[in-house]
Amino acid sequence: MAKRIDVSGLSAYYGSHKAIDDISMTVEPRSVTAFIGPSGCGKSTFLRTLNRMHEVTPGGRVEGKVMLDAENLYGSGVDPVAVRRTVGMVFQRPNPFPTMSIFDNVAAGLRLNGSYKKTELKDIVEKSLKGANLWNEVKDRLNKPGSGLSGGQQQRLCIARAIAVEPQVLLMDEPCSALDPISTLAIEDLIGELKERFTIVIVTHNMQQAARVSDRTAFFNLAAVGQPGKLIEIDETERIFSNPSVQATEDYISGRFG
Amino acid sequence: MSVMTDRRPVADGGNPLPVSLKQARLPRWATPALALVAAGAGCGIGLGAGLDSTVQWGLIAALLFILGTFALAAGVEGARQAKDRLATCLVWVCFLLAVVPLASLLWETVARGSKVLDGYFLSHSMGTLPDAMPGGGIYHAIIGTLEQVGLAALIAAPVGLLTAIYLVEYGRGRLAKAVTFFVDVMTGIPSIVAGLFVLSVWILILGFGPSGFAGSMALAILMMPVVVRSTEEMLKLVPNELREASLALGVPKWRTILKVVLPTSIGGITTGVMLAIARITGETAPVLLLVWGAKTINNNPFEDAQQSLPLYVFQQWQQGSDASYDRAWAAALVLIAFVMILNLVARGIARWKAPKTNR
Amino acid sequence: MTHSSSTADLPPLPQDDRSPVSGKAVRPGDRIFLGLSRGSGIALLVIMAAIAVFLTYRSVLAISGDKANFFTTLDWNATGTDPKFGIAVLAFGTVVSSVIAMLIAVPVAVGIALFISHYAPRKLASPLGYVIDLLAAVPSIIYGLWGALFLVPHLSGLYGWLDDYLGWTGIFSYSQGAARSLFTVGILLAIMILPIVTSVSREVFLQVPRMHEEAALALGATRWEVIRMSVLPFGRSGVISASMLGLGRALGETMAVATVLSPSFLINASLLDPGGGTFAQNIASKFSEADQFGQDALIASGLVLFVITLLVNGAARLIIARRKEYSGAAA
């Protein structure tokens, strides 16, 4: 179910502005990789290049290679729609479809990708909601609109929606930044469970969170405002937080800037 | 752009597992090529079957293009992509379908209207000219329109403005709710109903004759709710901090409104009033009932029938001769130009005076 | 959102009390200004009340003088000693032409709005929106002139074609002649309300939060699926209110109908053949030859039109209010 991501020489642009410059890294399957760094360093932009969401923004453009196992996401003939179906994404602010019920939200991706019998759909929705630790809270109101849930529940609903289509990779763009501490804890626990099945990449502003949930951590930085963001280093999370090999990483982690 | 061979497997029962990210795509030239083929076939069928209307040729071609795209995409790319392409086609067709009549309307007005439009046309009335004869002009209609619309604006703009101020700055409680509700209702009044209302009171009950002023009253009724709505929107945009800053300095509320709130939003309010004026300038129905139309110059809007531009267009059309059609188009061109210029200036003011927010 | 409770001890902030009416010391300036602005609001209410009262009063005069049933009679003869008139033909024509207009205009307008908001190249999108707004300002009499002198001659070919293939339905049978029929009126009304429906719908589609669209994209949705999952549900109530706005205009449109339609007091099964009438068109056409009683009769038909447009607007507001919880505005 989980695939390895190999990025080489990847740059991304907004129009003529270069947002990230020449990034190469490997993301291991069945592990959590965290991206940290100051605001504007391009970590979210980089995350969005991993499922070709970057090119959706007006003027967005990408150079370089992203290999998902043996396939280049940016190869010719590759359908971005198929890429996004394979690489799921959870956003900063929970975004359930406001007009759909909880059930329909989870089933939304499945309904796009094929026809299912009602019972199959029910099973997958239940499995996904259980996978997102939400089943017990919503099983009695599956037909209520998803927007009626609390922020933390909405975010877990979005995770259920993303894992329902059984993606290879799950990208999370600061999934807890709009949530309270208790909901954040629930999501972090969930990430720990999900990494058994998926390759997970998470962008976070919160260094404790990166230390808690991730196996490997990548530190991004930018030389100055307006300059493109760069990957400074990527390593085991423990090493990054105890004994990083680059001075800038240590400065950032110990709070000397950023 | 080569055609890829791998096809996405269709989900049968269990979870769909995409084997490949690659997707068979139609080559880039497929769409323009198909468009050409469809256009050719449309013309061919039209000619062959002897259909005399080019509208039909176009419809056939469009239909062929849409069906062709759908069939090709469904064959090569799969059902989902085919639907996506179909939607794209339909959206484009909608756009073209709308552009054709609207462009034709503007083109016809300009082309046919410029035939008799000159200085003489603008500076003379119809006088005693027989309807079927060429010549004559719209001077009397321009005078009438300016006076009627001016009077209507004089009535409607202050009332509308003050009502909006009441709703935004003072409005609370039942009266404000009622006013808001009835402004909504008033927005929906058909123009001919406003004309009938003034007819029933002013002419049938009070016994006055037709006059420019009677028309102005109906136009004012149509204009008021528009002014209220747009002014309300603009006043709501003024940040509360500004009002509070002024009130905290001990400035009385009425002076705060006059000196702080209104100047801040004056650009938007002007735009709203001008757009409302542009809207009532083109109204024909109430003028038909209340002003009646005239062939000669009547400078006094308070007595006797007058002419107005939209009514002039209608009456010249009714005459049904070539000369009167020409005059109708020329007057229509003047009317459209007047309304468009008002619109452009109004929107220009809105852009120029817009509060500097980056959204 | 984490204000401590200590502010509760402070005196109320001055901005909490914006009402100038504090009881005793009201400045004359404030009083005059409040009086003026409140007076204007009241004036609006008085006008609305007067419209209702006077139209009803004249209508009662007319209907009590009607020697036939006002609602079912298929004739309009409001002069002489034996006036017989009824609104059946007008109600039929108004409803049918407006429904045709809606059936054509709403899907096309939604298409154009989507084109501008989601399909058109960025450089084209905002000038296009601007042009559409300008077109919404073209006076209706010009649409009427164009309809009568340009559209009508161009439609007879199409109608002959419709007659050939769909004539058996009865609705689309067409005997040659000028295409000055209810269907033509419907087409013209559709073209007329297209800009306003488009403009409002486009506004709503542009307001769809980016994150709802990205939610669908990230699930692997095609552009059309994004629109179906995020844009259309979000914009539905906006499109409905835009349509109702357009319907209101179509119902009350006078001049465009008066110039295009060749009226007759018949309910014709074929929509392509000339004949029929609408409330507003009938008022404009019959007004010049009506005596005082005839004018009252026309006022009565205008009152019915007024009530219909009120109902349409009310229905629109109800629909919007009911859909509010689903509009996503809270998200």
pLDDT in tens, C18-41: 444 444 457 888 899 999 999 999
Q: How far is B90 from chain A (nearest CA, A)?
A: 21
Ordered domains of chain A (ranges, CATH): 3-94+168-252 (3.40.50.300)
Q: Which chains touch A (3 or more CB pairs under 8 A)?
A: B, C
pLDDT at position C323: 63
Which member of C41, C111, C130 has the closest CB to residue B167? Answer: C41
**Would you state the structure tokens that stand for residue B240, as one six-digit string?**
């509360």
Closest residue, chain A, to C222 (C-alpha): A81
Residue B354's pLDDT band (cuts 50, 70, 90): low
* Lowest pLDDT segment from A166-170, B344-348, C164-168, C230-234: C164-168
B238 alpha carbon, distance to own chain's centre? 27
Q: Does B259 touch chain C (CB under 8 A)?
A: no
Q: Which among B182, B278, B344 has CB closest to C45?
A: B182
Residue B120 C-alpha, separation from nearest chain C C-alpha, in angstroms: 22
To the nearest whole angstrom, how far is the Cα of B279 from the nearest Cα of chain C? 6
Contact C231, C208 (CB under 8 A): yes
Judged by a CB distance cut-off of 8 A, whether residue C45 touches chain B is: yes
pLDDT single digits (tens) A18-51: 999 999 999 999 999 999 999 888 999 999 999 9
The 10s digit of each residue's pLDDT in C199-217 is 989 989 998 888 899 999 9
Phi, psi of C76 (to 5 degrees): -140, 90
What own/partner pairs with CB < 8 Å and gap ≥ 24 does B72-81 have? B72/B26, B72/B30, B72/B34, B73/B26, B76/B3, B76/B24, B76/B25, B76/B26, B77/B23, B77/B24, B77/B25, B77/B26, B78/B7, B78/B8, B78/B23, B78/B24, B80/A81, B80/A112, B80/C222, B80/C225, B81/B23, B81/C222
Q: Higher-confidence residue: B17 or C73?
A: C73
Higher pLDDT, B155 or B51: B155
CA torsion angle for C87, B185, B272, C188 (degrees, to 10)? Answer: -30
Q: Which amino acid makes up residue A212?
A: R
ipTM here: 0.87
Query: What is the predicted pLDDT for the residue at B12?
Result: 39
The chain B residue lying nearest C254, using CA atoms, is B285
How high is the pLDDT of residue C149?
93
The minimal CB distance from A108 to the residues C219, C236, C330 is found for: C219
Measured between alpha carbons, how far is B351 from B332 in angstroms, rounded to an integer?
Answer: 28
* Residue A154: predicted pLDDT: 94
From chain C, the residues in CB contact with B87 under 8 A are 223-224, 227
B16 has pLDDT over 70: no
Q: Does A60 touch chain C (CB under 8 A)?
A: no
Whether residue B80 contacts residue B97, with contact meaning beta carbons closer than 8 Å, is answered with no
- Closest-CA distance of chain B to residue C325, Å: 21
The pLDDT assigned to C1 comes to 40
> Does the structure show a pLDDT above 60 at B14?
no
Q: Does B80 touch chain A (CB under 8 A)?
A: yes
Residues of chain C with pLDDT under 70: 1-25, 323-331
Touching check for B9 and chain A: CB below 8 Å?
no
Query: Taking an 8 Å Cβ-Cβ cutoff, which residues of chain A contact chain B?
Result: 68, 71, 73, 75-79, 81-83, 85-86, 112-116, 120, 124, 165-166
Percent of chain B at pLDDT > 90 equals: 56
Q: What is the pLDDT of residue B355?
A: 57
> pLDDT for B248-270, tens place per residue?
998 989 999 999 999 989 989 99
Chain A: residue whose CA lies nearest to B26? A77
Position C329 scores a pLDDT of 40
Taking only the tens place, the pLDDT of each residue in B92-110 is 888 888 888 889 999 999 9
Nearest residue on chain C to A163, judged by CA atoms? C219
Tokens at residue A6, please? 């190999």
Parallel/antiparallel/unpaired status of strands A169-173 and A199-203: parallel
pLDDT in tens, B148-199: 999 999 999 999 999 999 999 998 889 999 999 899 889 889 999 999 999 9
Eight-class DSSP state of B4: P
Count CB neighbours of A33 within 10 A.
23
Tens digit of pLDDT for each residue in B266-309? 989 999 999 999 999 999 999 999 999 999 999 999 999 999 99
